[in-house]
Structure formats: structure tokens, C-alpha cells
């Protein structure tokens, strides 16, 4: 990262559809496409333009979360004499390392969005935060990274066959029906892969609006579809060199089974007829779980709902909570056809989301934008001020406790429905009265607001705290701000450029200035340098706290 400030970046006056015409527009784009703008990326966007910056990001090399976990596991085992292993903290620490310092920012931001659609959670006992099984969660993040710029069909299959998803939604070890005992295939994954991962609950037009019959939305599926699809997902379990009973039940463990795709076990696959979503798989004379899986996933992939259903959620995660129908339609159309006749091209979808006129128009209205979720607030702050880890490991751990943390932590959602639903309309609010969805409001309340403010205050003073510790490992660099602290207006303008894309309101500037002005900076003398430095630092911290807690920062426009 360079030390060039946002205000110092000179941008050519070019077509606003391809190049930012102001520093604020460049910053706004990077707020949508990364974990927070930094000066090097601001310069790069100004040089390349939006589209070419995206294409360059598609080519950036990546780092693997599994490698981080393995490295830390070796250190922990050596230090404990083999008694302990790495666990969930190493997954979240790796996430934060890539979010804050990773060079493949677009991949990481898209993968984070995907992790909130294709949800697994270390809260669930089937994965277990404290267990070595979390190596599989690191592998799950790597799988999302691998597929972020690939094809949705491949992504869907990778999700379906990942053992952590298999554990979480209980289709790992899902057995065929048994008429004698009355056992039926587990329907959990079959239901959620339709409801959450592909087609949703109701049939959609290309623009995301529901199709109606007699004035009512038309359901996409019913109980029979779930039952039929569940049979198609039988006969898959742990990876290994054989398909023995011990391997199926997990009694025999391959060392890499927690992150290698599940393998087929024909002996446990249903051979009976399977009907779902207008598709029928004929009864099989010999069990063929791979063939059934292909037909099932192809049926979902080619369903007309997928483009608008997935496209709208990516818009919500990156750009705005309430995209217009025409915006959704343009993104869905890119999903359906990337311009070369290919369906499900994630690169085409990402381009459509980030380059759409509604995404790039600087001032599109008061209802436009989204709440900046807590993870993105913290990452934007840390990246803006070149934060680095003292240990080099980016020790953060869990941040999902609302009372003293962020009320959100990667891969720690309370259920498969994420921390918030994409259609959440906050009750008893102006947004709710206007019928606007504000997903992130589902984790916003008096407790979480206070917890966030206290967490950020601690981070400003001590660095970002590791869960369960009063020490901070990740610390921002305030050198530039300290040089401006004597003059509140200059200090505030730099914060405006760094965190607000230059769009901080005059009223907020006044409020911060009034607050900062209550902290007196003594006139320097030969003996009071420590007091002067302390006063400057207190001004910087107080100004940032007021900025980070303000509704203007929390609302991403």
C-alpha cells in the first residue's frame, strides 16, 4: 500500500461509465468491491478504470486458508506435545488476514458474499468450533474462493459435495429409504438447496418480482419435490480410498476427509424413481448416485429462478439492499447468458453487479445503498489506516457476541439462514413503513449498537482484541492523522476521504469538530512533548470513534 492520500489522487475526467470522475467515486466503487478502499487500489482504479480493474482482479493469485490452518496446527501441536490442535480461531484469523491484507480483494469479497448465501456455521455441533474438524471449514472457504470467479453450476456441486456442508445439513451419510424400518432419506439439504442456494420459495420473473396466480405468489416446490430430491442426494459420505461400511459411517478416517469432496457409495443410494421440479429420474437397475446427483443439480441450475434469485442477493451483499427490478433483470440476464452463450458465468455476474449504471451512479436517491454490516465496518477502518498484525497472524477469533463485539463473525451465523435474511423488513421503522428491505437491521438493536461502539473504542486504544483477551494484535497506523490533529478541520477531511468516500455531511463534520475541540492540545514547549502527543492521539481516537459510530458511516451509499 502507498501513502498517497485519497484527496491527492488525480483522476482524469473520463466517461463516468468506465472511469471514476472524482476520488469519491473511486472510493465508493472499492467500498463495494473490496473490504475497504486503500490508496494503492484508488490509484489503480483511476489508472485502469472500473472494468479493467475488475479484470486485473480476476487474475490475481490467491492464498489458501487451509495452508494457514495447517501451519498453525503444526505450531500448536508442537507446543502442546501433540495434545492440542488448531481449531475455529485459526479459520477466522485466516479470514481476517486475507480481508485486511490480501491482494485478491475482489475474490475475497465475493467469497464472503457467497459464504452468506451457502451458509455453514461453526456454531453448529456437527462442525464444532473447538475441533480439528474446522480444517474442513478452512477448506470450505477455499472452495468458495476457488469458485468465486468460476461457474455457478460448479459452485453448486462443490457446495453439495463438501463434507462440511454434508455435516451441517446432514446429507453426508444420507441413506436410501428402507420400507421395512420405515426409514426415509434425510430431507434437510434437499429443502435448503432449493430454498436458499438456488431457486427460492416462489417463482420469479427475470426482474426478481414474484409470478402470481390469482394474485398470489406461485410456490417453486412442494413436499413431493423435497422428498424426490432427497432421494437423489442419498449415497454420499466421507472421502477415502475405499467405500467400505467403516468409511461410510466415519469409523475409518482419511487424513484429508474434512475438506476433500464426498464420494459416492452406491450401496446406500436409492434406486427407486425420483421426481422433483418436473424432472423424473427413472428407477435404476444399479444404484448410480453420480448420475442422480448430476440430474438433480442440472435441474436446479437450469431453473429460471436462479439468475434473479442469486443475482439479487449478490447485489444486496455488494451494492444495495433494494435494487430496482431493472437492475436485477440486467444481472439475471448476465447469469443466463454471459454474451458467449454460457450460463452461470460468475465473472459475468460480478461485472454486471459492479458496473451497472445503478451501482456507479453517485447520487441515486435516499433509499439507495445498504447498511454496512459489522465485519465490513471493521475491515474498512483497518484497511483505511494500514493496520497490521503484531504477530503476523491477525488474531481476532470470534466477534459474534453482540454485547461486547460485532454481533457478526465469519462462518458463525446462528442458522443456515445467515445472520440476517435477504428479505428482512425492519418493523416499526421508516424503512419498514416504506416496504424497504434492510437485511443487516436484523442484528441491529440497542445491545449490538453499544457493543459495536465499545468494541471499536477498544480497537482504537489497544488494537483489535482477540476474543477472550484484553490485548490487541491488529493495530492501525495513525501517523498521518496525528500530523493533522492540531487542526480539526484538516483531521476531519482526511477521515472523510478515508472512510466516507468524501461524502461526509456538514452536520457530521460540525459534530466531530465540536467533540474534538473539547480536547485541548497544549502549545509545544521543550518539556511537554508527551502531553502534546497524548492530546493529539486522543483527538484522533475521539474523531474516529464519532465517525465510525455515525449512521453516515454505517450506511454504505
pLDDT digits (tens, 9 = 90+) for 390-447: 999 999 999 999 999 999 999 999 999 999 999 999 998 989 899 999 999 999 999 9
| Alpha-carbon gap, residue 171 to 53, rounded angstroms | 40
CA angle 457, 461, 462 (to 5 degrees): 110
pLDDT of 15 reads 58
Kindly state the cell numbers that stand for 537.
492521539
Using the predicted structure, report yes or no on whether residue 9 has a pLDDT greater than 50: no
Q: Residue 154: what are its φ and ψ, rounded to 5°?
A: -65, -40
Q: What is the mean pLDDT of residues 527-533?
A: 97
C-alpha dist (Å) from residue 340 to 336, 337, 503:
10, 7, 39
Q: What is the mean pLDDT of residues 343-367?
A: 93
In percent, the amount of the chain with pLDDT more than 90 equals 92
Kindly state the cell numbers that stand for 511.
459534530
Residue 156 binned pLDDT confidence (cut-offs 50, 70, 90): very high
End-to-end distance of the chain based on CA atoms, in angstroms?
25
For 312: left if phi > 0, alpha if psi spans -120 to 50, otherwise beta; the answer is alpha
What residues have CB less than 8 Å from 440, skipping those under 6 apart? 321, 370, 371, 372, 373, 420
Using the predicted structure, report yes or no on whether residue 7 has a pLDDT greater than 50: no
In DSSP notation, 460-518 reads HHH-EEPTT-S-EEEE---HHHHTTTTSHHHHHHHHHHHHSTT---HHHHHHHHHHHHT
| Alpha-carbon gap, residue 387 to 460, rounded angstroms | 11
For residues 378 and 464, the answer to whether their CB atoms sit within 8 Å is yes
Reference 157, options 358, 283, 295; nearest CA is 295
For residues 203 and 186, the answer to whether their CB atoms sit within 8 Å is no
| Alpha-carbon gap, residue 19 to 16, rounded angstroms | 5
HEC states along 344-375? CEHHHHHHHHHHCHHHHCCCCCCCCCEECCHH
The pLDDT tens digits of the residues spanning 110-142 come to 999 999 999 999 999 999 899 889 999 999 999
Kindly state the cell numbers that stand for 398.
470470534
| Alpha-carbon gap, residue 84 to 490, rounded angstroms | 51
Kindly state the cell numbers that stand for 507.
452536520
pLDDT of 17 reads 66
For residues 274 and 292, the answer to whether their CB atoms sit within 8 Å is yes
Residue 365 binned pLDDT confidence (cut-offs 50, 70, 90): confident
Using the predicted structure, report yes or no on whether residue 348 has a pLDDT greater than 90: yes
| Alpha-carbon gap, residue 28 to 154, rounded angstroms | 31
Using the predicted structure, report yes or no on whether residue 490 has a pLDDT greater than 90: yes
The pLDDT tens digits of the residues spanning 197-237 come to 999 999 999 999 999 999 999 999 999 999 999 999 999 99
The pLDDT tens digits of the residues spanning 249-275 come to 999 999 999 999 999 999 999 999 999
Using the predicted structure, report yes or no on whether residue 3 has a pLDDT greater than 60: no
Q: How far is CA 477 from the centre of its chain?
A: 25
Which of the pair, 14 or 352, is modelled with greater confidence?
352
Q: Residue 379: what are its φ and ψ, rounded to 5°?
A: -65, -40
Using the predicted structure, report yes or no on whether residue 10 has a pLDDT greater than 60: no
Count of CB atoms situated within 10 Å of the CB of 416: 20
pLDDT of 344 reads 99
Mean pLDDT of the chain: 95
Q: What is the mean pLDDT of residues 16-36?
A: 93
List 237's β-bridge partners, or say none: 263
The pLDDT tens digits of the residues spanning 163-172 come to 999 999 999 9
Name the pTM for this structure: 0.95
C-alpha dist (Å) from residue 182 to 175, 273, 286:
12, 17, 22
| Alpha-carbon gap, residue 303 to 306, rounded angstroms | 6
Reference 396, options 110, 94, 63, 45; nearest CA is 94
Using the predicted structure, report yes or no on whether residue 80 has a pLDDT greater than 50: yes
For residues 11 and 19, the answer to whether their CB atoms sit within 8 Å is yes
Residue 14 binned pLDDT confidence (cut-offs 50, 70, 90): low
C-alpha dist (Å) from residue 447 to 56, 407, 443:
41, 9, 10
Kindly state the cell numbers that stand for 145.
474462493
Amino acid at each position: 500500500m502507498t501513502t498517497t492520500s485519497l484527496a491527492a489522487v488525480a483522476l482524469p475526467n473520463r466517461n463516468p461509465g468506465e472511469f471514476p470522475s472524482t476520488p469519491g467515486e473511486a472510493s465508493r466503487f472499492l467500498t463495494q468491491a473490496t473490504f475497504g478502499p486503500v490508496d494503492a487500489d484508488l490509484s489503480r482504479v483511476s489508472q485502469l478504470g472500473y472494468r479493467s480493474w475488475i479484470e486485473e482482479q480476476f487474475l490475481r493469485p490467491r492464498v489458501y486458508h487451509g495452508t494457514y490452518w495447517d501451519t498453525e496446527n503444526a505450531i500448536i501441536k508442537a507446543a502442546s506435545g501433540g495434545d492440542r490442535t488448531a481449531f475455529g480461531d485459526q479459520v477466522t484469523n485466516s479470514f481476517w488476514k486475507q480481508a485486511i491484507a490480501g491482494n485478491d480483494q475482489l475474490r475475497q469479497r465475493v467469497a464472503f458474499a457467497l459464504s452468506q448465501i451457502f451458509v455453514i456455521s461453526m456454531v453448529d455441533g456437527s462442525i464444532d468450533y473447538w475441533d480439528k474438524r474446522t480444517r474442513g471449514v478452512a477448506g470450505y472457504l477455499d472452495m468458495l474462493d476457488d469458485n468465486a470467479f468460476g461457474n455457478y453450476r460448479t459452485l453448486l456441486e462443490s457446495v453439495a459435495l463438501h463434507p462440511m456442508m454434508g455435516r451441517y445439513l446432514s446429507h453426508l451419510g444420507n441413506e436410501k429409504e428402507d420400507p421395512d424400518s420405515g426409514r426415509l432419506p434425510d430431507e434437510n439439504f434437499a429443502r435448503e438447496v432449493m430454498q436458499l442456494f438456488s431457486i427460492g420459495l416462489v417463482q420469479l420473473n427475470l426482474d426478481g418480482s414474484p409470478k402470481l396466480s390469482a394474485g398470489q405468489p406461485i410456490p417453486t416446490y412442494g413436499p413431493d419435490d423435497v422428498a424426490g430430491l432427497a432421494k437423489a442426494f442419498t449415497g454420499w459420505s466421507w472421502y477415502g480410498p475405499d467405500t467400505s461400511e467403516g468409511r461410510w459411517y466415519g469409523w475409518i478416517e482419511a487424513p484429508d476427509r474434512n475438506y476433500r469432496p464426498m464420494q459416492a457409495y452406491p450401496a446406500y443410494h436409492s434406486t427407486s424413481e425420483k421426481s422433483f421440479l418436473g424432472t423424473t429420474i427413472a428407477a435404476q437397475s444399479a444404484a448410480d448416485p453420480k448420475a442422480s446427483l448430476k440430474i438433480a443439480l442440472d435441474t436446479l441450475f437450469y431453473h429460471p429462478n436462479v439468475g434473479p434469485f442469486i443475482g439479487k442477493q449478490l447485489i444486496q451483499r455488494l451494492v444495495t439492499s433494494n435494487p430496482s427490478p431493472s437492475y436485477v433483470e440486467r444481472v439475471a440476464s448476465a447469469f443466463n447468458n454471459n454474451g458467449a452463450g454460457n450460463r452461470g458465468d460468475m465473472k459475468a455476474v460480478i461485472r454486471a453487479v459492479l458496473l451497472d449504471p445503478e451501482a456507479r451512479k453517485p447520487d441515486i436517491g435516499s433509499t439507495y445503498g445498504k447498511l454496512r454490516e459489522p465485519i465490513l465496518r471493521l475491515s474498512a477502518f483497518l484497511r483505511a489506516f494500514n493496520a497490521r498484525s503484531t504477530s503476523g497472524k491477525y488474531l481476532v477469533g470470534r466477534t459474534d457476541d453482540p454485547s461486547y463485539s460485532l454481533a457478526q463473525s465469519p462462518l458463525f451465523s446462528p442458522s443456515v439462514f445467515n445472520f440476517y435474511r435477504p428479505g428482512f423488513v425492519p418493523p416499526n421503522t421508516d424503512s419498514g413503513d416504506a416496504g424497504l428491505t434492510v437485511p443487516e437491521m436484523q442484528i441491529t438493536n440497542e445491545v449490538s449498537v453499544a457493543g459495536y461502539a465499545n468494541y471499536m473504542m477498544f480497537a482504537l486504544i489497544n488494537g483489535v482484541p482477540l476474543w477472550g483477551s484484553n490485548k490487541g494484535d491488529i493495530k492501525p497506523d495513525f501517523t498521518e492523522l496525528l500530523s493533522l490533529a492540531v487542526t480539526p478541520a484538516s483531521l476531519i477531511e482526511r477521515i472523510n476521504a478515508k472512510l466516507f468516500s468524501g461524502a461526509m455531511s456538514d452536520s457530521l463534520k460540525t459534530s466531530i469538530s465540536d467533540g474534538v475541540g473539547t480536547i485541548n492540545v497544549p502549545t509545544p514547549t521543550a518539556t511537554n512533548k508527551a502531553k502534546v502527543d497524548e492530546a493529539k492521539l486522543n483527538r484522533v481516537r475521539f474523531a474516529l470513534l464519532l465517525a465510525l459510530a455515525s449512521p453516515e458511516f454505517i450506511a454504505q451509499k
